């Protein structure tokens, strides 16, 4: 079964097609790694499917719903949540507010498991040590990344997109976030992990898709994809 599917989608910035007639499917219930060299269109893919930048052509489907051109809040209500490569958290708010507001107003029909059933539970589940009344301005990058995941989970998603959620973290923090992603997956949420560290894709994902110049370059199991000569060439720039 497919949870997220784009077909024939294009996003252009002036003359540059950041997403170029892209067709790909994200299998339901898996952790899929979305990889590709810098500038290959990974973040634009996230922006496109989550309603920040509508595609100029093609369709985006989430489960049974055609969500092409839907606003971000509509995509979230349909069950698609995301985090940002550069954390976007209002500095003047507290941890409790950033998680609590979407949690309270989430329009998704899904329910979260018991260990995520309150704002405090979600913060704990995501490994956020600071108190709920801590201002976001005072958080480390590691806590900001955990907070972004907690905020996305508060939207009760069926599909969660993580745009480089481990970038800038220490090895220890990275290992903890990997474990967190596994636990989120075990809670029944389909996950797309955007990552450029191949080791993380190989250990975490059941499926991988590779973008290059806004197009699908390769897809399959991480083992197959990482051995694909076309993928090696794109990364090494031969
Ligand atoms: P990735 O996340 O894979 O590194 P991006 O999706 O951020 O790649 O970018 C893909 C291409 O689109 C790059 O060439 C980038 O410079 C360009 N791009 C991304 N966002 C914008 C934008 N808002 N305006 C103009 N060009 C953009
Ligand atoms: Mg990016």
Measured on CA atoms in the order 77, 85, 133, 170, is the torsion positive or negative? Answer: positive
Q: Distance from the CA of 37 to the center of ligand 1, in angstroms? A: 11
Atom of ligand 1 nearest to the CA of 211: 3
The CATH number of the domain where 171 resides is what?
Answer: 3.40.50.300
Residue 12 C-alpha to ligand 1 middle, in angstroms? 10
190-209 pLDDT, tens digit per residue, is: 999 999 888 899 999 999 99
How is residue 41 written in tokens? 């269109």
Nearest CA to ligand 1 atom 8: 39
Handedness of CA 128, 117, 190, 6 (dihedral sign): negative
> Does residue 151 lie in a domain region?
no
42-66 confidence digits (pLDDT tens)? 999 999 999 999 999 999 999 999 9
H or E element at residue 161: strand 159-163
Does some domain include residue 45? yes
* Domain carrying residue 25: 2-89+158-236
- The atom number, within ligand 1, closest to the CA of 53 reads 23
Per-residue model confidence as pLDDT tens digits over 84-126: 999 999 999 999 999 999 999 888 888 888 889 999 999 999 9
In a domain, 224, yes or no: yes
Query: What residue ranges line ligand 1, CB within 6 angstroms?
Result: 13, 16, 18, 36, 38-44
Instruction: Look up the pTM and report it.
Output: 0.96
């Amino acid at each position: 079964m497919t949870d997220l599917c784009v077909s024939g989608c294009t996003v252009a910035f002036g003359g540059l097609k950041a997403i170029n007639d892209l067709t790909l499917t994200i299998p339901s219930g898996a952790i899929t790694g979305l990889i590709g060299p810098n500038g290959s269109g990974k973040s634009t893919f996230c922006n496109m499917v989550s309603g920040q930048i509508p595609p100029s052509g093609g369709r985006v489907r989430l489960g049974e719903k055609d969500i092409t051109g839907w606003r971000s809040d509509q995509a979230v209500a349909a069950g698609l949540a995301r985090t940002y490569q550069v954390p976007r958290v209002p500095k003047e708010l507290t941890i409790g507010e950033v998680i609590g507001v979407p949690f309270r107003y989430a329009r998704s029909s899904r329910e979260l498991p018991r260990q995520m059933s309150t704002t405090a539970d979600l913060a704990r589940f995501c490994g956020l040590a600071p108190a709920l009344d801590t201002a976001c301005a005072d958080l480390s990058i590691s806590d900001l990344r955990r907070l972004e995941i907690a905020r996305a989970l508060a939207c009760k998603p069926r599909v969660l997109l993580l745009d480089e959620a481990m970038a800038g973290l220490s090895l220890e923090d990275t290992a903890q976030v990997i474990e967190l992603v596994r636990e989120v997956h075990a809670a029944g949420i389909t996950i797309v992990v955007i990552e450029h560290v191949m080791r993380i894709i190989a250990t975490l994902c059941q499926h991988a898709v590779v973008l290059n110049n806004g197009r699908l370059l390769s897809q399959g199991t991480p083992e197959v994809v990482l051995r694909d000569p076309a993928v090696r060439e794109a990364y090494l720039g031969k």
